[in-house]
Structure 1
């Protein structure tokens, strides 16, 4: 059988190699003389320390990984072979007694500086750290004018003098620590065309001086997926998200101050301590809302689920609202009251999907019967019920 791979052009082979971790792409250099230089032309550098740690035959695999990264970066002529994407997964071994945190910090910053400053046109940067001691990242990435996607995990962000990321459209912050909320806002305000923001387990060292002064709305932001850890005053940050169309919030504590989201069409909420009043305020302040996903995993019975007589039915329920999904529905009085409120007040509701958290068939049947008996204002509303 003919070697069809060898018939492909160097450009196409280089593109294929870009989907492999750099460690694997380099190994193709032993196939033939033609393959030897191909990995150097790959526009993607993808380093994963775990690949080395899984190789039990290598002594001191973390040091082998560091030498490999240094060697492959030095072997590359960035003027002739620019990179568009740089990904680094590192720090699994940093907890070991013979691997110094400062040493790891210095290595990471050398590698990142090389990729950003010499990469010429880098668009995607993904840094994922696993060290127990958070790495303090070099500030050079915050002035990279070509970055389009930035993903950071397990990092300590502070001491950046200024942020200028004029091309950045997607920002992912996972297990990232800031000194104070203003540091986060400085980062966001330096991304004038940011369209997507995702945070997960993000927290601050000091939240005491958190104030609203100077906060402004992000003009281009379309979607925000927010998960905070130990942050109580999220509503000030939410005011910067007022232009979004898709909003997801996972939070353990909230206060009553809810900004207005004039453009939100899809809303997803998960509250560790369920605050029904806050949920109703979110509905009230999303007048164009079309769909709601509400996770009731930590819901509990309270007496004030339904609003008082002075609470006006949210505008979205009488206009645009068509889909509602209640996840981990427990069949409590609070859960039933909220589902009933949605069905009784939603004029355009097409579907109410209930995902039961119960594994008891009798309990499931009881929940279904209770919901089926609830009056529906929308004649087109279909009730769907699913189980664990």
Structure 2
């Protein structure tokens, strides 16, 4: 419900103060409407009527923070207030507010106010109205669990299976866990199998572990077979350990022998993630597995445990995965695509982060005519390697295959499949990486691979398919490069795309290039105005750029919206007033990405820019947010702002209190990546998130700043990496807390004792990156003789990177030597020097580090000369690969190529 978690008067008190006499008259007017005070509405309207238009006209035209009197009346539902506003003032009962696109009747629906809903619909409000995303009144009522309103809306004839971006009302109720609403909708013959283009209501209920809703859906006839290996209800229930759901699915006829995308049976997943009861339940109806010698419940559990131990053996995993891939390649060359896909699936079971295997299996699905599975594998491949051209090619090929199939379906008078495939593509294209390219110089220009629209250009050996009208790249062949196509050459593939796809392409282009597309051809002229706005101001807003502010205002006034991205670089207080107006612009409605970048020389001793209230209206739709050089007010703690879609958050040199920060993070339900840079005021960071995967932060080095001193990890089951940490300042960390999910850790070097204590906290750590700070004083480390082994050193730590290593300091040598002699499964150790060294120096280091005595004989220890650079300054942590965040290009040393040992 966004900011409406608090009553409207309380919100205004937090924003404007408790003295209501000092409120703007518009705020007092809206508050009176909320109280249902008709007399107060008239008195304040008389005060506002400075031009003599009359009280009714003033009442109808007055709004505050995007809300008019009819919207504000929704919470209390006083019928006399509605009668005055609707019958006397003649206010538009279908006009939505400008902050959330809610109509008056939807305000009443979300508050659960049945009398107000009944009155507004009786007065002619559109019962079939839909806001952005095709969300209807029934969607809103089902989402909030208002049973009586759901019944009333159904009695008024609303579409019970109305489709939206979040699925049907039944799907949304199942996802939210409102079992009573699910029961009501099923009793009114809601389709239990109609959800989104990928997930059905049953899938959504199981993914959220809503077993009661899942039972009702199964009893109501939901499809228990699912849409494929990625979305099979029984696989989901087994993986989440939902015993009651497994029982219901088996009784309804679910197939216990279906494989997931990595070739695992539900009984194997139950043995790994569930309980013994789940395994016993699945055992009678599961066919024997050839690799399980003792086919019994105990034998299956032992087999799965053994497989888990084998997967911890890198040599076994690499050998097995390599053999399976080779068998898959051989089967592919024989055009045995079915067996090739099986081998690739088994190889993915060994290593499910191998993008090449996903790419190869996607091609196998395509050759077998299964476009949906090809599309799913290609999308997962892009998630692992966003910048790999072949992954985007695979996605484009799969999409074009589905388009070709849809054209055939049209000939057979069936258009549903085409609409479904396009909706599926549009849903996925929202998650693609932004294009960093330039203008499209001509009609036949091929865009960057991230748009996944063009797939052919340079002449390369291709294998044609009798099922497609496009070339398909072979398993180990790179995709063709993009280049201009002359007028006598190939067909214009971009021009053939639907307008919706072209608008998505334009919305990913920078502002200048997006506007230039209007001159490409007559067909492209309306696209920029109809595409979501991508307004990136890469110049600093200062006193030297006099016309820049007017230009921004003009663009926002001309473009009708919505906006995808708005980025500003602020360096002058001259524009503070204009920013408030820009953020209130209708063009920025439903904004997905917002960046307020501070000037590059800004530090905590400068004056922070107080964020205007208009920025918080963007919270419901933001996916990416970066705030820099600004200050957050403490009132946001009580206002309970919600960021339901936010996935990436950056706070760069901002002033925010601990309470405000915790309140902000607790309301980011989808947050995956958090980056905190040189911020001020707060000393403590508490992490409690079910979705957070990455945290990157660094403290300030100015004396005037307040450094981060305490890190508390309460509940973060998905957290995989912390980078970078400064352990000497994190004195209040609870070192008894173990984080089994963290795989990547970055530390600034102080002494070995502190680092060892950190390693105890992360038993599954696989990659460690350490910076040697030459400016910091180091404490002599004690001789390390652990009373008990450290788990990550014994079983998991495979890669260590030491940056700015100084081999002339004994402390640095002892630090590096510790990992050489104690990391038992180490595979790679990279040591970068800040200055050039001669070969004899490397040979001496070889002796000092005792590399011949290394405990892991498979470890490759490499010393290289390089620049004195810092990992945190190279790029944003959001941009780093989750698989290997240390894969950062380095210029290296020009005088030598290093000396690997």
Query: Would you say the 8 A contact 1:305–1:337 is kept in 2?
Result: no
Deviation string, structure 1 residues 135-159 (Cα, Å, up to 9, x no partner)? 2223454462222221222222224
Asked if residue 254 in structure 1 is aligned to residue 729 in structure 2, the reply is yes
Query: Would you say the 8 A contact 1:17–1:25 is kept in 2?
Result: yes
Distance 1:18 1:382, change over 3 A: same
Counterpart among 661, 678, 691 of residue 220 in structure 1: 691
Deviation string, structure 1 residues 331-365 (Cα, Å, up to 9, x no partner)? 12112212222222222222222222342314333
1:383 is aligned to 861
Query: Would you say the 8 A contact 1:306–1:338 is kept in 2?
Result: no
Counterpart among 134, 137, 147 of residue 611 in structure 2: 137
SS of the aligned residue for 1:225 comes to strand
Deviation string, structure 1 residues 94-150 (Cα, Å, up to 9, x no partner)? 2xxxxxx2x4222112222326xx644332222223276432223454462222221
1:150 is aligned to 625
Aligned pairs for 1:326-345 (under 5 A) are: 326-331=802-807, 332-345=809-822
Asked if residue 264 in structure 1 is aligned to residue 735 in structure 2, the reply is no
Following superposition, the deviation at residue 31 of structure 1 comes to: 6.6
Greater C-alpha radius of gyration: 2
Asked if residue 74 in structure 1 is aligned to residue 563 in structure 2, the reply is no
Range that drifts further, 257-266 or 134-143 = 134-143
1:97 is aligned to none
Distance 1:162 1:114, change over 3 A: farther
Query: Would you say the 8 A contact 2:541–2:575 is kept in 1?
Result: no
Q: Which has the higher contact order (CA 8 A, sep 6+)?
A: 1
Query: Would you say the 8 A contact 1:122–1:147 is kept in 2?
Result: yes
Counterpart among 129, 151, 166 of residue 644 in structure 2: 166
**Root-mean-square deviation (Å):** 3.3
1:21 is aligned to 510
Unaligned runs of 5+ in 1: 54-59, 95-100
Query: Would you say the 8 A contact 1:163–1:190 is kept in 2?
Result: yes
Deviation string, structure 1 residues 35-61 (Cα, Å, up to 9, x no partner)? 5543212213223152999xxxxxx86
SS of the aligned residue for 1:63 comes to coil
Asked if residue 236 in structure 1 is aligned to residue 710 in structure 2, the reply is yes
Following superposition, the deviation at residue 25 of structure 1 comes to: 3.4
Deviation string, structure 1 residues 180-219 (Cα, Å, up to 9, x no partner)? 2232222211212211111222222xx5xx579xx56222
Deviation string, structure 1 residues 16-74 (Cα, Å, up to 9, x no partner)? 43344324533555677655543212213223152999xxxxxx863322112212212
Counterpart among 574, 577, 593 of residue 124 in structure 1: 593
Unaligned runs of 5+ in 2: 1-485, 867-901
Query: Would you say the 8 A contact 1:340–1:375 is kept in 2?
Result: no
Report the TM-score, using the length of structure 2 for normalisation.
Answer: 0.36
Deviation string, structure 1 residues 196-255 (Cα, Å, up to 9, x no partner)? 111222222xx5xx579xx56222211111112157764533435754211112438414
Following superposition, the deviation at residue 293 of structure 1 comes to: 0.9
1:193 is aligned to 670
Following superposition, the deviation at residue 267 of structure 1 comes to: 0.8
Query: Would you say the 8 A contact 1:372–1:383 is kept in 2?
Result: no
Range that drifts further, 337-346 or 232-241 = 232-241
Structure having the higher helix fraction is: 2
Query: Would you say the 8 A contact 1:200–1:226 is kept in 2?
Result: yes
Deviation string, structure 1 residues 315-337 (Cα, Å, up to 9, x no partner)? 21112112111111111211221
1:278 is aligned to 754
Report the TM-score, using the length of structure 1 for normalisation.
Answer: 0.79
Query: Would you say the 8 A contact 1:49–1:62 is kept in 2?
Result: no
